Amino acid sequence: MAEINKVAVIGAGVMGAGIAAHVANAGVPVILLDIVPKDAADRSAVAKGAIERLLKADPAPFMSKAAARLVTPGNVEDDLGLLADCDLIIEAIVERLDLKQSLYAKIDAVRKDGSIVSSNTSTIPLAALVGGLPERFAGDFLITHFFNPPRYMRLLEVVAGAATRPEAVATVSQFADHRLGKGVVRCKDRPGFIANRLGVTWLQAAVVEAFDRAIDIEDADAIIGRPMGIPKTGVFGLLDLVGLDLMPHVNASLAGSLPAGDMFHDLYRPAPLIEKMIAEGYTGRKGKGGFYRLN
């Protein structure tokens, strides 16, 4: 079985920064890339900023240990050459099929033979992600769906496609288990896999109920939080943590990939409340706050 000695994470947002920090903390060298404007004075600012945000949330000893192993060069376009010696390249960019696919073509042009590429997509089926890409790429590709926050959530959904090399699945599963401390669950290539196929349903139902029937957010979270086993956040607090701007992409992706007549198809329609909050910058903890204001 191949070894994973160096990792790249692309997309330094909520998930990418958290995954990169977690890998670094496990003692594995990792680079973190994001988009940077061409004229940016400091090309590493986006990735560094993302890690600094983590620093606030996490105890300093964790990050000081991790910092030595974490390189944050910055610009995906200019720094793609850095992927050449990476054994595992984790894509964690925005939940859009077109952007993910165009990035994969660029990754494939520079990565080494036998390297593994994975996506952190929440909902997009693997067959759609690799559609139109070379067979060699499909063989080395799988989905590694981390949960938020990546440091604390032990579950990792792994999805392999029809063409994925069994050895690539075994290598990543072993790495996730032994080095990252994750409990790996193999899922079929279905829209939303298991956790989001079920989990997004109640997130979306809560938003629709809050808007249509004026359910009180604090009351709902008091009931759905600890009493129903969702630590601390409840359902609306969880949406703030996830990032409200992710929801339209997730809903569109689920609605688009579910067959007509699926009982949940209608539920995933755009939610006016979420659209309004995003437009006003209330994207959750990463923005001005969300259902709950920031302290």
**Does residue 93 interact with ligand NAD by CB under 6 A?**
yes
One of 4, 8, 10, 117 touching ligand NAD (CB under 6 A): 10
Q: Which is nearer to ligand NAD, 99 or 170 (CB)?
A: 99
Q: Any idea of the CA torsion for 72, 125, 186, 165, to the nearest 10 degrees?
A: -80
Q: Which is nearer to ligand NAD, 78 or 219 (CB)?
A: 78
Residue with tokens 């974490």: 70
Q: Which is nearer to ligand NAD, 167 or 199 (CB)?
A: 199
Tell me, residue by residue from 103 to 142, as one string, x for binding to ligand NAD by CB under 6 A and - for no binding: x----------------xxx--------------------
Q: Which is nearer to ligand NAD, 98 or 113 (CB)?
A: 98
In contact, 210 and 244? CB cutoff 8 Å: no
> Which of 141, 225, 150, 145 is CA-nearest to residue 192?
145
Task: In whole angstroms, give the CA distance from residue 290 to residue 282.
Answer: 5
**Does residue 148 interact with ligand NAD by CB under 6 A?**
yes
**Does residue 92 interact with ligand NAD by CB under 6 A?**
yes
How many H helices and E strands in the chain?
A: 13, 8
Which residues, listed in sequence order, are joined to residue 158 by a DSSP beta bridge? 144, 186
CB of 92 to ligand NAD, least distance (A): 4
Q: Any idea of the CA torsion for 127, 131, 135, 138, to the nearest 10 degrees?
A: -40
**Does residue 13 interact with ligand NAD by CB under 6 A?**
yes
Residues that bind ligand NAD (CB under 6 A): 10-16, 34-35, 76, 92-95, 99, 103, 120-122, 147-148, 242-243, 246
